A and B are shown apart, each in its own frame.
Chain A
Amino acid sequence: MTNPRILLVEDSRDDAELVRLADQSLHLHSELVVAEDGEAALDYLFRAEADPPAVVILDLRLPGMGGLEVLRTMRSRPQTRRIPVVILTGSERDEDVLAGYDLGANSFVRKPHEFEAFRALITHLEHYWVMTNLRPPV
């Protein structure tokens, strides 16, 4: 039985320090998998079909395929349509929030600028989505 995983879809060339911090913020309970763009995220999810991550934390701004497109694809495929998705973004434009919910995001959180706040957020996300939420059965 593997540890639960969190898939963070984040352009780490952009936010290398944040990704490193996210990894450090997790406690014993789960491990972090990072996908640097939308295609890598979908590749991972389709490969991990039999053992999906507990939650996908999805940035909207990605090189190539955008976050909303990743979400739309996930929700259209039987293997990935129920996996909880939390959109993590600097954008709080109403149309992004609306589009995220309309495409079936489970939650929408803003990306904090300060490292400490980011670390606290990742801990909180882990606590909620890995330890509190009951995952859809595979």
Chain B
Amino acid sequence: MSKAPQVLLVEDNQDDVELAMHAFSGSTVAPEIIVAHDGEEALDYLFANGRHAQRETRDLPSLVLLDLQLPGIGGLEVLRRLRERAETRRVPVVILTTSDDQADIIGGYDRGVNSYIRKPVGFDSFREMVRQLEHYWLITNVAPPL
């Protein structure tokens, strides 16, 4: 049997983390959600560095949900660095942010983001968005082979 797919949620706002965890918990795929609270933690997880050094590097998340406004290393820089590394350059990344600043959208696409989504307001819309993301990226999309 295959284990549940993993989603790496890169998000510093605890309310949004809880909202996402709650929305995913009632979902069909019920992925395992790993939370990174800042860019550095996200990169440590993806590259199996620091406190994630014991992690199997080939065991990558099926999807990275990336906030842009993060303390320290910002979301666009996280994206740039993971697209640079052979092991992580094809991992599907969806930017999930409150920003609809054109520079952020262009910056995301130019650094190779797979998709860019505005965080909806309110739990029902948030849950609907999670359902969409899950259906699309964990069921419909053919993941890059390892």
Give chain A's interface residues, CB within 8 Å of chain B.
82, 84, 92, 94, 97-98, 101-102, 104, 106-110, 121, 124, 127-128, 132-137
Contact = CB atoms under 8 A, between A and B. Distances in A.
A110 B142 contact: yes
Contacts of B106: 82, 136-137
A9 B145 CA distance: 24
24 contacts: A82-B110, A92-B142, A94-B145, A97-B142, A97-B144, A104-B112, A106-B114, A106-B115, A107-B92, A107-B114, A108-B141, A108-B142, A124-B135, A128-B115, A128-B132, A132-B115, A133-B116, A133-B117, A134-B100, A134-B117, A136-B106, A136-B116, A137-B102, A137-B106
The 4 closest A-B pairs by CB, nearest first: A82-B109, A108-B142, A101-B90, A94-B145
A98 B144 contact: yes
A92 B114 CA distance: 19
Contacts of B115: 84, 106-107, 128, 132-133
Given A97-B145, A132-B132, A136-B105, A124 B118 contact: no
A124 B132 CA distance: 9
Interface of B: 90, 92, 100, 102, 105-106, 109-110, 112, 114-118, 129, 132, 135-136, 140-142, 144-145
A94 B143 CA distance: 10
B67 to A, nearest CB: 14
Contacts, number: 58
Contacts of A121: 140
B141 A107 contact: yes
B108 to A, nearest CB: 8
Contacts of A124: 135-136, 140
A54 to B, nearest CB: 12
A132 B118 CA distance: 8
Greatest chain B CB density within 10 A among A134, A135, A136 is at A134
Given A84-B115, A134-B116, A109 B142 contact: yes
A101 B132 contact: no
Nearest to A121: B140
B4 to A, nearest CB: 21
